[in-house]
Amino acid sequence: MRDIPQEMRINVADLQQNAMLDLYEVDLSRFGGDVYRFHDGMNGLLKPIVWQGLRYEPYPVQVTGFSVTTQGASDRPKMTFANFDGMLTAINNDYDDALGAIVTRRQVLEQYLDAVNFPNGNPQADPTREAVQKYVVEQRESSDSDFVTYILALPTETDNALIPRRVIQADICSWRYRGFDCGYDGPPVADEKDQPTTDPLKDKCSHKYSGCKLRHKGKMPFGGFLGSNKLG
Tens digits of per-residue pLDDT, 30-39? 888 899 999 9
Last-in-domain residue among 135, 156, 177: 156
In this structure, the answer to whether residues 90 and 183 fall within a common structural domain is no
In this structure, the answer to whether residues 69 and 135 fall within a common structural domain is yes
Give the 3-state DSSP-derived string for the chain, with helices as H, strands as E and coil as C: CCCCCHHHCCCHHHCCCCCEEEEEEEECHHHCCCEEEEECCHHHCCCCEEECCEEEEECCEEEECCCECCCCCECCCEEEEECHHHHHHHHHHHCHHHCCCEEEEEEEEHHHCCHHHCCCCCCCCCCCCCEEEEEEEEEEEEECCCEEEEEEECHHHCCCCEECCEECCCCCCCCCCCCCCCCCCCCCCECCCCCECCCHHHCCCCCCHHHHHHHCCCCCCCCCCHHHHHCC
In this structure, the answer to whether residues 150 and 216 fall within a common structural domain is no
In this structure, the answer to whether residues 182 and 136 fall within a common structural domain is no
pLDDT at 23: 94
In this structure, the answer to whether residues 139 and 223 fall within a common structural domain is no
pLDDT at 130: 87
In this structure, the answer to whether residues 140 and 167 fall within a common structural domain is no
> What is the number of structural domains in the chain?
2
Residues of the chain with pLDDT under 50: 1-5, 7-13, 43, 69-73, 159-168
pLDDT at 229: 53
Last-in-domain residue among 156, 173, 190: 156
In this structure, the answer to whether residues 18 and 129 fall within a common structural domain is yes
In this structure, the answer to whether residues 76 and 116 fall within a common structural domain is yes
In this structure, the answer to whether residues 176 and 149 fall within a common structural domain is no
* Domain containing residue 14: 1-156
In this structure, the answer to whether residues 83 and 169 fall within a common structural domain is no
In this structure, the answer to whether residues 196 and 127 fall within a common structural domain is no
pLDDT at 19: 79
In this structure, the answer to whether residues 110 and 123 fall within a common structural domain is yes
